Amino acid sequence: MALRGNLRDFTITQLLNLVNLAQKTGTLVVDGPSEQAYISFREGKLAYARVGQDDGSLAAVLHKANRLTVNQYRAIVERAGKITDKELGLLLINAGYLTQEEILLNLQSYFTEIIRRLFTWVEGFFRFEGEMLAPEDRINVRLDLENIIIEGSRQLREWEQLQDEIPSLDMALKFTDRPLKNVNLSVEEWRVVSYINPRNTMKQIALTNKMNDLDVRRIVYGLLQAGLVEIVRPEGMVIPISPKTFPTQDKEEQKSLVNKLIGRIRSL
Amino acid sequence: MQTVKMVVTGPFSAGKTEFIQSVSEIDVVSTERKISTAAERSVKEATTVAMDFGRITVDEDLVLYLFGTPGQKRFDFMWEILSEGMLGFIVMVDSTRPETFREARSILETFRAYAPTPYVVAANKQDKDDAWDLEDMRHALRLDSKTKFLPCVATDKATVKSVLLELLYSILAEMESGE
């Protein structure tokens, strides 16, 4: 039977566990909330991963990890033409610029980071394509899934707790009366704090700071616990009251109706 | 016939069904089922799985419906459906069960995000010896000073009326401030 379904019913951690136990080879395609991810496995081990618009090429991975400067990256993209990642890797190793181990570690860390991102996806569809193997022109790794699964389970528990605390990112934040003095905040926390305003939803703050839902919830949770902020409805955002709320759209009639209700409840 | 509705929500066993029963003119149409887990069974025998439904007739043209949401998290898909078109909502919290405060806070935030309607929070079972003080509960529930947080005994009609009236006053105040 085809391995496909909804992340609501079958989490990424459960999927990785299944791939690991069944020692599967193929690619897990996940259609997330706004992007698509491809995670390839070989005999139950992580081989390759790519998400969204990232091309997942070796040059891009090394550039993201600050192992290649912007100019070096551009030069490779422009001049190296159709060189494969394997060929590029060999060139870099032969030039003494990077070791084979460094290249593999950077790729492993990049692929693991993609899976960490997937742990925050609770909505979306997945399918496992047994025929779809990791791209041949890319360097594949062989990474055991156990540690990733344990990390994912831990993160899932944290995610569930944070979702209980902050169920909706469509709400905004405002500072409480406590002064924001002598508080030690990390760079990430300051980035969130700098956008706190009843007009900005948490979703907007996350988007502006390029944070995922888990990251922004984690930071907001800390600020809430410290009593520095509170959750408020976004100012200026018109959330239409359902027309079903009142049987009439006339304001005076609506008020009269509420007064009638007050009178009736008093008389009970 | 015109109808309006209010929603009574809160964690499992907060007293939502009793609250509605205290003021409803009909026997509450309750969709209760026997509790399946031992932990929950130790708190009560049956729970609401879809919704409770109470009615207060105002006059021949107007009826107020009170909907109680299921308290167990696995039925939370019903919440958004029930919140559609509500005048306002009441979050019930059991003052004697601090282990449910976090969930109550989460439910409150979820409903606040559904609709910009007024709400009040009712601290139920305030007549019990082991009930938390309102001020302590206000801190634990992280309610700001502007949120109406009212003592309540769900089986006592007078306190239930007072909670409903406070919600209606808030609805009226919001309508007047929005003019």
Model confidence pLDDT, tens digit, residues A58-110: 998 999 888 888 888 888 888 766 788 988 899 889 888 889 999 999 999 99
Local confidence band at B124 (pLDDT 50, 70, 90 cut-offs): very high
Check CB contact of B115 with chain A, cutoff 8 Å. Answer: yes
**H helix or E strand, kind and range, residue B21:** helix B16-23
Predicted complex ipTM: 0.84
**H helix or E strand, kind and range, residue B8:** strand B2-9
Check CB contact of B4 with chain A, cutoff 8 Å. Answer: yes
Rounded to the nearest integer, the mean pLDDT of chain B is 85
Judge whether residue B15 has pLDDT over 90: yes
pLDDT at position B33 is 58
- CB-CB: which of B102, B110, B157 is closest to A168? B110
- The Cα A189–Cα B133 span in angstroms is 34
Q: Which DSSP string do the residues of B70-100 spell out, in sequence order? A: P-SGGGTHHHHHHHTT-SEEEEEEETT-GGG
pLDDT at position B126 is 94
- CB-CB: which of B3, B109, B117 is closest to A167? B109
Shortest CA gap A255–chain B (Å): 7
In chain A, residues with a C-beta closer than 8 Å to the C-beta of B26 are none
pLDDT tens digit string along A15-46?
898 898 889 999 999 998 789 999 999 999 99
Judge whether residue B169 has pLDDT over 70: yes
Amino acid at the residue B69: T
Q: What φ, ψ does residue B37 adopt, rounded to 5°?
A: -100, 145
In chain A, residues with a C-beta closer than 8 Å to the C-beta of B110 are 167-168
**Which of A52-56, A241-245, A246-250, B11-15 has the least mean pLDDT?**
A241-245
β-partners of residue A5 are A126
pLDDT at position A120 is 79
pLDDT at position A139 is 93
Q: Which two tokens stand for residue B168?
A: 């209606």
**H helix or E strand, kind and range, residue A27:** strand A26-31
pLDDT at position B75 is 63
What is the model's pTM? 0.62
pLDDT tens digit string along A181-230?
777 888 888 889 989 988 899 999 998 888 888 889 999 999 988 888 88
Shortest CA gap B165–chain A (Å): 6
Angle at alpha carbon of residue B6, lines to A268 and B9, rounded to 5°:
110
Q: Are A173 and B142 in contact (CB under 8 A)?
A: no
How many Cβ atoms sit within 10 Å of the Cβ of residue B133? 12
Check CB contact of B108 with chain A, cutoff 8 Å. Answer: no
Q: Which DSSP string do the residues of A103-163 spell out, in sequence order? A: HHHHHHHHHHHHHHHHHT--S-EEEEETT-PPPTTSPP--B-SHHHHHHHHHHHHHHHHHH
Closest CA to A5 of A20, A15, A13: A15
- The Cα B84–Cα B125 span in angstroms is 28
- Which sequence spans correspond to the domains of chain A? 4-156, 166-257
Shortest CA gap A179–chain B (Å): 16
Query: Which three-class secondary structure state does DSSP give residue A196?
Result: coil
- Which sequence spans correspond to the domains of chain B? 2-177
β-partners of residue A173 are A231
Judge whether residue B31 has pLDDT over 90: no
Indicate the fold that domain B2-177 takes in CATH.
Rossmann fold (3.40.50)
- The Cα B78–Cα B48 span in angstroms is 11
Amino acid at the residue A154: R
User: Which stretches of B32-156 are DSSP H helices?
Assistant: 38-41, 77-83, 101-114, 134-140
Query: Which three-class secondary structure state does DSSP give residue A257?
Result: helix
pLDDT tens digit string along B90-100?
999 999 998 89
State the architecture of A166-257 in CATH terms: Orthogonal Bundle (1.10)
